[in-house]
Chains A and B, each alone.
Chain A
Amino acid sequence: MKKQPIDDLFAKKLTNWEPKVSPDLWVKIEAKQKKKSRHLGGWFWSVAASLTLLLTTGYLLWQNQPTILTGSEKEIVQTEIKRLDIAPAEEKGIASSVNSTIETAATEESTQKKPETNNAQRYAVASQSATSAENLTETAHPRVRELVKIAAIERKAVESEALVAEISEPSLSQTIEVLAAVSKADVVSENRIIRANVDWDEPGKAEERKDSRFAKIIQQLKNVKQGEVVDWKEVGFNPKKILARADEKIRNEEDKVSRKYQEFKGKTKL
């Protein structure tokens, strides 16, 4: 269909016709733009925040997992330290005794020694400064030094007892004795207890350690597949318990509903 003169007449005048625009129109567009970007921004930040939270939680859980798993199997060295003021001369004495590893200054033979282990467990009660305690753990055993983790630091206002170190390591032929001299009189400053959980690997148990929780779950899944008994302790949770909780909740909900229903029924009767 060809164009006609009437088409051209209107096209000529109206194609580039520029009527007057209201002065506040740009403000409207700007407001809409801002609103939109704010929406997008909010969405972005909420996603970012939840991702961060998720990652942090995951990392923390992952970090804590080996400690929980290996806690029962591995040796734990608990060191309770009371921060005391000690004469430098005494510190020197402690350091030298640690280096030689078998020097005992003042010790109490452990009466709580576990009968099934051949470990030499000794409790050495000594007064020591915090710095010398750190030196002690660092120099006592090179492997200890690598794996020392200070799990918790607690402050307690306790009377001046001294360093209580509990060290056990079955693989070592030699016993590590932690020692120090008792000197209650030297207690001067703040009392502080530092509890340190120290884990270290033994060459023989290195392979066992690789048995992560994931591997255990996989093993149990294999058991399910092969129709064998599943050890839920290995998995870490018991589905029966979870089901029981859910049932209880649902029942409670039902109770609520039925009570409301009864009330409603009673009202309508009136």
Chain B
Amino acid sequence: MSRILPLFNQEAQLVKALKRAEPKAQRQLYEKYASRMLGVCMRYAPDHMIAEDILVEGFMKVFDKIDQFKSEGSFEGWMRRIMVNESLGYLRKRRQIPETADMTEAECISDNSLADEALEAEEMMQMIATLPPGYRAVFNLYAIEGYSHAEIAEKLSITESTSKSQLHRARALLQQRVTDWEEEFKKKVAYEEATY
């Protein structure tokens, strides 16, 4: 791939080439972003295989809709939105987005400094995967993608209050998982120190 990469050094050039539907440019785009975009899809999809299927569809859409990309915003942001929409489309098909609101409030103020240092992305993904699909989608959209509750409500066809309550619930659950992990981690460290 290193031979292809230097062909389109700048993103603007790459976008132009993509608009001409050049196979080399498409390949280069894939090489550059496939992994990161798979990360996006995996946060929503139930498993790795499905995430890859969503990724394939997402790339097809990127190649098809490239003419709609206005060079005002970031290209990666545009691609990421496509991947998120594809993922939500999949969840909608599977009806994995609950429409009812769960108004349980949860306080989840915590330090998380230990987790911030030692918690790996894969472990975080495992934590996210344990969330119910609706909570998971709302948490991903709000906390990681940075959408507002109004946008989330529109995307998932739910009310804003549902979005807010699901976010609270997701946070509480995740916080609980992180706290559990921290305790386990501390125990592990203590045990290792004792053995030396």
Measured CB to CB, the residues of A under 8 A from B are 1, 3-22, 25-26, 28-29, 32-33, 36
Contact = CB atoms under 8 A, between A and B. Distances in A.
B30 A15 contact: no
A250 to B, nearest CB: 47
Interface stretch (B11-19, B90-98, B109-117, B185-193): B109-117
Nearest to A26: B30
A7 B139 CA distance: 8
Contact of B142 (A7, A12, A32): A7
A178 B170 CA distance: 106
A7 B143 contact: yes
Interface string B55-72: 110011001000000000
Interface string B153-196: 00000000000100100010011001000000000000000000
B52 A21 contact: yes
B42 A25 contact: no
A191 to B, nearest CB: 62
A29 to B, nearest CB: 5
B119 interface: yes
Nearest to B170: A6
Given A6-B171, A9-B178, A33-B26, A17 B143 contact: no
B137 interface: no
Contacts of B128: 10, 14
Contacts of A17: 36, 39, 121, 125
> What's the dominant secondary structure at chain B's contact region?
helix
A11 B144 contact: yes
A33 B60 contact: yes
Given A6-B174, A9-B116, A14 B43 contact: yes
Contacts, number: 94
B84 interface: no
Contact of B60 (A15, A16, A29): A29
Interface residues of B, number: 43
Closest 6 CB pairs of A and B: A7-B143, A18-B35, A17-B39, A17-B121, A13-B121, A11-B144
A19 B39 contact: yes
Contact of A4 (B109, B115, B120, B122): B109
B124 interface: yes
A32 B167 contact: no
22 contacts: A1-B164, A1-B167, A4-B109, A4-B171, A6-B108, A6-B171, A6-B178, A9-B116, A9-B119, A11-B143, A14-B128, A18-B35, A19-B38, A19-B39, A19-B48, A19-B122, A21-B34, A22-B52, A25-B52, A26-B30, A28-B56, A33-B23
A12 B116 contact: yes
A10 B124 contact: yes
Contact of A21 (B38, B109, B110, B167): B38
A36 to B, nearest CB: 8
Given A10-B144, A14-B124, A29-B56, A4 B35 contact: no
Contacts of B171: 4, 6-7
B27 interface: yes
Nearest to A34: B23
Nearest to B149: A1
A13 B127 CA distance: 13
Contacts of B52: 21-22, 25
A18 B39 contact: yes
Given A1-B149, A26-B30, A21 B124 contact: no
